[in-house]
Amino acid sequence: MNTSEQEWWRGSVTYQIYPRSFLDSNDDGIGDIPGITSRLDYLADLGVDAIWLSPIFTSPMKDMGYDVSNYTDIDPSFGTLSDFDEMIAKAHKLGLKVIIDQVLSHTSDQHPYFLESRQDQSNDKADWYVWADAKPDGSPPNNWLSIFGGVGWQWEPRRKQYYLHNFLRQQPDLNFHNPAVQEWILSTVRFWLERGVDGFRLDTVNFYFHDALLRDDAADFRQKSVVDWNPYHMQYHLFSKNQPENLVFLKKFRALLDEYGATTSVGEVGESHHPIEMMGEYTTDKRLHMAYSFEMLGHSFSPKHFSKQITEFFRLAPKGWPCWAFSNHDVVRHVSRWQHHAQDPTLLAKQACALLLSLEGSVCLYQGEELGQQETDLNYDELVDPQGIEFWPEDKGRDGCRTPMSWNNTQFAGFSSAPPWLPVKDKQRQRNVADQDHNPESVLNFYRGMLAFRKQNASLRSGNSRFINEENSLLAYVRGDTMLCVFNLSHQPVTYQNTSEFTRSVKHQHATVEEQNIQLEANGFAFLIR
């Protein structure tokens, strides 16, 4: 196997599927694996290299599958292992790699190992989760908080101890300081490698280890103009996550993947203080292949913001590799987040596509973004996400980006013949595959064309980046010394004084290219070569 085959992931484009919302094949209102299989041709035609499936394992669904009760089986709502095998086979036949989510930091409280662990302090699994005595006054062992609200500790009367949960109380944290836990986790990863998966997306990859001394987290030292809506963000999480032992475990994880040849891994770094630095640490020295943070999943939409992420990553980790995304299942869809930077959401959707697919690194697309899909407005009584239910209305949770995929403009958008698990609104139905499929001006066909353009230009897949303008709304950079990329990140027209040798336009939107001047209308962009 040559290097290019081994490193297929470098510069690749992965399409994230949220299985509950992709396609329902048996009309129970929940998307499933046979539904995914039936639409793999659509994804191959789109032009992506791989698909990533959010969790499909057996789960009570308190956090929509991110609370796993069996790591080596498929939840019945999604199908069976046979369905999964059929999906893998068809994907590979179409030339698509398959990446699956791995939730390794915590299990469901219904996992057999936790049910045993919580019984007493002397059973075989007693040290498989993070347990600690109460303080003399009965309060939790330290000040660690839960991302989903409240303290990060839950009392268990049978053991007369607290257990740690960084997320829901139904998601107890595993004790990675126990070598047996690490070996068991790696055995579940091997199970899926043996079934033919090509890689893993690692949920909350910086949460695996906790400080063994259980020291208090510090207050966040940053000055903020607005009080945080979630107390979790008021702390600097020095001890509840981000521990150095993580790096040692990730080398073990990587060694396992390397046994299987052309595999890959992409880690989600959930950290707000030094995420780019951590992405670099996690993707060097034979640890993860790629990592991403939330730095491009927020509201910032300026030339300096985008150039800083790329420049900082490769400065800190010249041998590392990033994976960038503008949307995923945890954040407001980017066309909605950035809408005040555009007059026309369709133009913004196309520009964002061109920008993302020209950034140095690998890329993840989130289902529906190829349609220019926007956030769904939901009422409180329509929510199922515990985050939205807890922090409403300041934070409306993640359901708005998880509503069903719009395949056509029928009642349930072609997703199902039954009422779906989350509602389909008129706004989402209007942006559907059927209506855009044969429209040459559609966002869908723009994505198809841009993905093909990226594949045809090695400089966009693997060339280095040299930023030459990041002032005001103008972003300009050269990829691989062969292509100039210029973007107007605003809804006001601007002129770029082109003093480079790149003068021939090969792709543009709302732009007029002359020898020395590039006129860029609202959300315009241009790609130029010599």
Catalytic residue among 5, 259, 394, 515: 259
The distance of Cα 11 from the centroid of its chain, to the nearest Å, equals 16
Query: Sign of dihedral through CA atoms 500, 502, 507, 511?
Result: positive
The DSSP symbol for 331 reads: S
Nearest CA to 289 out of 256, 263, 327 is that of: 263
Catalytic annotation present for 137: no
Q: Indicate which residue of 32, 203, 360, 470 is catalytic.
A: 203
Cα separation, 290 vs 361, whole angstroms? 9
In this prediction the pTM is 0.97
Pairing mode, if any, of strands 218-219 and 483-488? unpaired
Handedness of CA 16, 22, 25, 27 (dihedral sign): positive
CA distance 525 to 494: 11
Nearest to 52 by CA among 186, 196, 200: 200
Cα–Cα distance measured from residue 482 to residue 501, given in angstroms and rounded to the nearest whole number: 10
Could you identify the residue written with the tokens 């409280």? Answer: 109
d(CA 298, CA 235) in angstroms, rounded, equals 19
Q: Give the tokens for residue 351.
A: 């520009």
- By residue count, the chain amounts to 530
How many other C-beta atoms are found inside a 10 Å radius of the C-beta of residue 299? Answer: 12
Q: Are 100 and 72 in contact (CB under 8 A)?
A: no
Cis peptide before 393 (omega within 30 of 0): yes
List Cβ neighbours of 157 (8 Å cut-off, separation of 6 or more): none
Per DSSP, the residues of 423-488 read: PPPHHHHTS-HHHHHT-TTSHHHHHHHHHHHHHH-HHHHH--EEEEE-STTEEEEEETTTEEEEEE
Asked if 7 is an active-site residue, the reply is no
Burial of 425 (0-12, 13-18, 19+ CB in 10 A): middle
CA distances from 388 to 64, 159, 233, 339, 504 (A): 13, 32, 16, 22, 49
pLDDT in tens, the chain (530 residues): 666 789 999 999 999 999 999 999 999 999 999 999 999 999 999 999 999 999 999 999 999 999 999 999 999 999 999 999 999 999 999 999 999 999 999 999 999 999 999 999 999 999 999 999 999 999 999 999 999 999 999 999 999 999 999 999 999 999 999 999 999 999 999 999 999 999 999 999 999 999 999 999 999 999 999 999 999 999 999 999 999 999 999 999 999 999 999 999 999 999 999 999 999 999 999 999 999 999 999 999 999 999 999 999 999 999 999 999 999 999 999 999 999 999 899 999 999 999 999 999 999 999 999 999 999 999 999 999 999 999 999 999 999 999 999 999 999 999 999 999 999 999 999 999 999 999 999 999 999 999 999 999 999 999 999 999 988 999 999 999 999 999 999 999 999 999 899 999 999 999 999 878 999 999 999 999 99
CA dist., res. 237 & res. 144, Å (int):
8
